[in-house]
Amino acid sequence: MYNLGVKIERDKQTKTSPKEIRVATYRKGQEPRKEIAMNTTMNEKAFASIATYFFIDHIKQQIRGTEYNFKMAGNPSKPQYLALMAAKELHANYTFVSISTKKKVEKQTYAGLNLKLIAKYVAVKGTDIQKAEYKHMTDNHTAYPTVKSWFLGEFKGISVSKAEREIQKATLAEKKANIHKVVKVAAAKNSDNSTLVLAGKAVNE
């Protein structure tokens, strides 16, 4: 049997602030027990890792994290497991809440968005003011992130696929309009020529 005693020591530098050190005494003929600090060290690492994998919402009393980190926390060999257990130990009454990652949605929505696409869309769908603002940015070599932010703010709810469809639709409409103009001009010329021919015949007669 080991008996735990308490030894009081003072800090060597300040000679104040007494601290307790638990020491093990042992009976005659027995080896002293070695202090095992493994669990303490593991707990310190676990508590320190909480913020790496989870977010504590004290207002809503929730332990929030991504679906991936909660999934990894199901495996005792993963660091997420220790972090979640430490968080639960600190906040036993808090509930677990899985949150989605918005960055993935944004990347999927705007993948393929570039200055060329923005320029085409503004040209066919922008107002005179929007076209003037875009021209001002291009003339001043404005950085792409700023142009992108302006574009998404001006055309709310836009997506790359929607922009491409509207550009294609506007391009086809413009081509049709140009064809109609050519046909109309040609028809007018033919009509004028016919009139001249008829007028010439009338004079000759």
93-144 pLDDT per residue, tens: 999 998 876 655 555 568 889 999 999 999 999 999 999 999 999 998 888 9
Domain count, the chain: 3
d(C-alpha 121, C-alpha 146), whole Å: 17
User: Which residue in the block uniquely carries the two structure tokens 């639960």?
Assistant: 88
More confident residue, 61 or 11: 61
Residue 65 CA: distances (Å) to CA of 35, 68, 138: 36, 8, 41
Q: Are residues 30 and 44 in the same domain?
A: no
Q: Are residues 122 and 194 in the same domain?
A: yes
Which pLDDT tens digit goes with each residue over 153-163? 999 988 999 99
d(C-alpha 7, C-alpha 204), whole Å: 136
Prediction pTM value: 0.41
What residues make up the domain containing 124?
108-204
Q: Are residues 87 and 52 in the same domain?
A: yes
Residue 125 in tokens: 């769908």
Which pLDDT tens digit goes with each residue over 2-42? 444 434 444 444 444 444 444 444 444 444 444 434 344 45
Give the pLDDT confidence score for residue 22 in this predicted structure: 44
- Tell me if 150 sits within 8 A of 137, measured CB to CB: yes
Q: Are residues 72 and 58 in the same domain?
A: yes
Q: Are residues 116 and 197 in the same domain?
A: yes
